Amino acid sequence: MDWMDASPAGGFAEPVQSSTLSMPSIQSMSSILSVSLHGGVRVGPRLPFHTHARAAGLVLPCLQRGGAAAGGHAMPRNSSRPSMTRRGFLAAAGAVCAAGLAARAADAPRRPNVIVIYTDDQGCIDAGCYGAKDLATPNLDALAARGVRFTQFYAPSSVCSPSRAGLLTGRFPLRAGVPGNVGEKDGLPPGEVTMAEMFRAAGYATAHVGKWHLGHTPETMPNGQGFDHSFGHMVGCIDNYSHFFYWQGPNRHDLYRNGQEVFLNGRFFPDLMVEEASGFLEAHRDAPFFLYFAMNTPHYPYQGDPEWLEKYRKDGVPYPRDLYAAFVSTLDARIGRLLDKVAELGLTQDTIVVFQSDNGHSVEERAHFGGGNAGPYRGAKFSFFEGGIRVPAIISWPGRLPEGAVRGQTGHGCDWLPTLAELCGVDPPGVPLDGRSLVPVLQDPAAPTPHDALHWQTGTGAKAQWAVRRGDWKLIGNPVDIVNPKSLTKNDALFLANLADDPSESRNLAADHPETVRELLALHEAWVAETGTRADT
């Protein structure tokens, strides 16, 4: 079983040759597209040929979606931009299409920018807007006030890697080939199509900043998965000042920019993230960008700003909640700085911001056995009780989506990909998705959830923990309650709860509702069989 949030085998990336991971030069981009267009060979971003061609603006209709040319804006908004970027190349390649339609393109609405903020091990109610009274998150609260906040939103998994795989592919982690936390030699399969590849094919500049934890090889690291730019760590957790792996020895430095190791010893990693992201935003202020801002906080080690820690200790917040709360407020402040940068660039109205935690709070030893708060929900990280998977989630697009709104429909981390595709007018990947667009729910508080059933599983085999939710009924197989392990007996191997009546999942109703158990078990088994085939890969 994959319990660790770090790589069980040490999680060390092999030394990476920068030449294999650096952003392609203009010449190499040119050859990539040239080969694609003339030879029909699938190279570069792992997308079908027609998608490359559409991204390059070489296939009509190039104004098929909302009037905006795929491949971006033929007329650069800022003529002083430095020499040709990847997107610049794509725009130039699309000139043959755009030239004849320049007048329309000039009037076309700009595609929105997208920032996905993914926090790490932030508990179910650990934000002011989710009910926390003993920690301050003014920036998250402000984001919720200008967006839509979900109250029944689920992470794709109760641990890091599969949660991120679900987010980035729009597919349940089991289908995406990431059943558990990745180690040294595995990762998100390169054949999967990521959100970054989706946006890049539509002409977006793409960047990963922060934690990755989806692979250590060139083809599974961010530059191999659709990100033009990448800065951060590849393992599950680091010390935020030395940037060394914070799990087990021998300690290893883990900070990379575009596959090349960089040394910034002594600099606080959340600050480095804001700096790096700000530079990316400035460089791409004139055309659409996708930023995956994968915060490694409040995942241990708890290293919040001293000012916050002093405040919470003065407030009488007990240990270890004081450490955790300080770290949450610290991350909230960095989110504030990032969004201030968006505002400073005049992009607030043009930028969709998604926020979500990757799983519930941790009670591991390195997390001082707790600090986070699942509120009324049972369990924590690693568990498929609500405390492990029910997470804060917000989407904001000022002027275009409801503001200060709350939605109680079930949503899921896999939903962001199709939701963002619809909002941005870009084509989703041409593979089966498990996520569903939440746009109808965002637009109409009475719209039903797009999900008939939701599924989870960590690992494979007969002892794997799994869960299925349909309506208010939820069945967990091989449940884990890491907060209170002795609360479960061998009679709880199948644990049934009705979340409307018992959101705390305090009582196992399996013996009382055998027919419901049979139905949900059959649903789960059919799902495992279906995802196991992976017919599309």
User: Active-site positions?
Assistant: 160, 213
Q: How far is the CB of 120 from Ca ion (least distance, A)?
A: 4
Strands (E), 295-422: 351-357, 393-396, 405-412
Return the closest-CA partner of residue 280 out of 272, 289, 271. Answer: 289
Residue 121 or 186 with smaller CB distance to Ca ion: 121
Dihedral (CA of 33, 35, 40, 46) sign: negative
Residue 7 backbone dihedrals phi, psi, to 5 degrees: -75, 125
Q: How far is the CB of 56 from Ca ion (least distance, A)?
A: 37
Q: How far is the CB of 134 from Ca ion (least distance, A)?
A: 22
Residue 59 or 116 with smaller CB distance to Ca ion: 116
H or E stretch including 149? strand 148-154
Residue 118 or 280 with smaller CB distance to Ca ion: 118
151-180: contacts with Ca ion (CB under 5 A): 160
Distance (Å, whole) CA 369 – CA 365: 5
Residue 158 or 508 with smaller CB distance to Ca ion: 158
The residue of the chain with the least Cβ separation from Ca ion equals: 160
Q: How far is the CB of 158 from Ca ion (least distance, A)?
A: 9
Supply the DSSP string of 414-480, one letter for each residue.
Answer: GGHHHHHHHHHT-PPPSS--S----HHHHH-TTSPPS-SEEEEEESSSTT-EEEEEETTEEEEES--
Residue 304 backbone dihedrals phi, psi, to 5 degrees: -70, 165
Residue 146 or 361 with smaller CB distance to Ca ion: 361
Say if CB 521 and CB 475 are below 8 A apart: yes
Q: Which residue has the tokens 């917000």?
A: 394
Residue 121 or 364 with smaller CB distance to Ca ion: 121
DSSP 317: P
Task: Give the residue, chosen from 161, 296, 359, 531, that forms a contact with Ca ion under the rule CB under 5 A.
Answer: 359
Q: How far is the CB of 122 from Ca ion (least distance, A)?
A: 8
Distance (Å, whole) CA 260 – CA 306: 31
Residue 48 or 301 with smaller CB distance to Ca ion: 301
Distance (Å, whole) CA 82 – CA 88: 10
Task: Give the residue, chosen from 228, 254, 358, 505, that forms a contact with Ca ion under the rule CB under 5 A.
Answer: 358
As a whole number of Å, the end-to-end CA separation of the chain is 25
> What one-letter code names the amino acid at 434?
D
Residue 163 or 220 with smaller CB distance to Ca ion: 163
Q: How far is the CB of 528 from Ca ion (least distance, A)?
A: 24
H or E stretch including 230? strand 229-233
Q: How far is the CB of 208 from Ca ion (least distance, A)?
A: 16
Measured at the CA of 257, the angle between CA 251 and CA 260, to 5 degrees, comes to 70
Return the closest-CA partner of residue 196 out of 242, 228, 164. Answer: 228
Q: How many residues bind Ca ion (CB under 5 A)?
A: 5
Say if CB 439 and CB 425 are below 8 A apart: no
* Phi-psi domain of 175 (left: phi exceeds 0; alpha: psi -120 through 50; beta: other): alpha
Residue 385 or 527 with smaller CB distance to Ca ion: 385
Longest CA pairwise span in the chain (Å): 70
Distance (Å, whole) CA 62 – CA 386: 44
Contact string 96-135 vs Ca ion (x = CB under 5 A): ------------------------xx--------------
Q: Which two tokens stand for residue 293?
A: 């801002």
Binding stretches for Ca ion (CB under 5 A): 120-121, 160, 358-359
